[in-house]
Structures are given as C-alpha cells and as structure tokens.
Amino acid sequence: MKTKKVFLLFGASGNLGNTAVEYFLDQDYDHYYFFTRKMFELKTTKKYDMISISDMTKEENVAQAFQSIVLEKESNYFLFSAIGAYIGGEAIAETKYSDFMKMLNINLSTSFLLSKYFSKLVQNTNGGSICFTSAKSSLYPEENRGAYNISKNAVNVLVKTLALEGKRFNLSANAVAPYVIDSAENREWVEDKSLLVSSSEICQMVQSLFKNYKTVTGNIIELPGSIG
C-alpha cells in the first residue's frame, strides 16, 4: 500500500509562496495544506485545504494552525516555509532595535514555532521533512545587513539542531539559501541580475530535498544566482 504524502506550505500568498503553490500542486502529494494571510482561489482537482493564519510570531496562532491538520499515523508530512522579511541598508550602529527585533521575530521566531509544532506532529506519523528559506548572506557576513543576516544565521542553527533531534523520529530538516530571490521589488535595486535566484529554482531544490528526506538532513543549501 502506497504511503500517503501530505504537503504543508506556510506563507502561500507571498512572491515565493505563489510560485510554490503552483509548483507543488504538480508534484506527487496526496493532500495539501496552504497557510496564508490572504485567501485566494485555486483551480485544481487536487485535495487541499486553505487555512487563514494571522501573526505567526504568536504561538497561539501557530498552534491553532496545526490543529487544522488531520493527523494520519501512516502518512509522511512535508513542510516548506516561504515566510521571510528583509530590512537592510544600515550599519549595526544605525540599526533601530525595533528593526532588529522585527527580523528576529519574522525570520526566526516563526521558524522556531513551526519547528516545534511540526516536530510534535511528525512524532506521531510515519516521518517527514521540513525546509526553511534562509539566505546565502547568512553564511557570508556582509556589512549593512546585520539584523537580517543574524536572524537567518540563527535559522541555520535551528535547522542543524532540529536535524539532530529529528533522527529519533524520522524527521529531516534543511534550508535553502538563495542570495536574492527574483521578484519585481528586488529587480529594482539589484544591479547585477546574475545574483537573482528564481522562485521556481528554489522550489525545485526543496522538492529534491523532500524526495531524499530519509538521507539528506542538516544542510543549508546555497543557491547561486543564475538569472541574466
């Protein structure tokens, strides 16, 4: 009997999230859960639930979101988080503390909460995998991006820790680390377009990690730019 595969996407209404919805609907999953702040319509014959979720830096909201997921002990679960935000352009000495905390809350706190509740879920299933969106600059520090890079580097440590803990119950954890995601907003300020990474390339890498989830874990996958 084929093991059922369930796909979870958080941040479904963002630039990366929109691409992820279309891409993963074409993959071999039996059921989908799309978590989003902005509801939208889908034209698909696939089985899915679209769930509205508000501020994910609050634990009660994340806990409520996971309560909407049907737990099936013989199924495998795969979670991709397309959530993230960027604030940069200032040295640490000029960065507002409120902006620093915003980066930590959006990029790290949400990832921690997803890790916590997804770990609880997978412990009662056949296993699964989680993948976060990190950043290449989290691995190679750059000036004037301190708050952002620190928050993403912390996500990397979270991934490696979760990978170690997850071995006990068949959970793998990884992250993809593009330098700059190709979007209309980013194209306005990025002069060297070769630094951009398309959302579809990110999704392809995430899918590869999910296909090999039993053997690939604890990795921060750098995605070099490829768009001319």
Give the tens place of pLDDT for each residue, 135-158: 999 999 889 999 999 999 999 999
- Each domain of the chain, given as residue ranges in start order, spans 5-223
Residue that has been written with the tokens 């309560």 in this structure: 67
Q: How far is Cα 147 from Cα 104, in angstroms, rounded to an integer?
A: 8
85-105: pLDDT as tens digits: 999 889 999 999 999 999 999
Distance, CA of 37 to CA of 52 (rounded, Å): 6
% the chain with pLDDT above 90 = 86
Q: Which residues contact 85 (CB under 8 A, 6 or more apart)?
A: 102, 103, 106, 107
Mean pLDDT over each residue of the chain, to the nearest integer: 94
Say how far apart CA 155 and CA 153 lie, in whole Å: 5
Smallest Cα–Cα separation from 163: which of 109, 104, 216, 110? 216
Selection from 104, 108, 222, 206 nearest residue 162 by Cα: 108
Q: Is the pLDDT of residue 52 over 60?
A: yes
The pLDDT of residue 20 is above 50: yes
Q: What is the pTM of this model?
A: 0.95
Q: Top-level CATH class of 5-223?
A: alpha beta
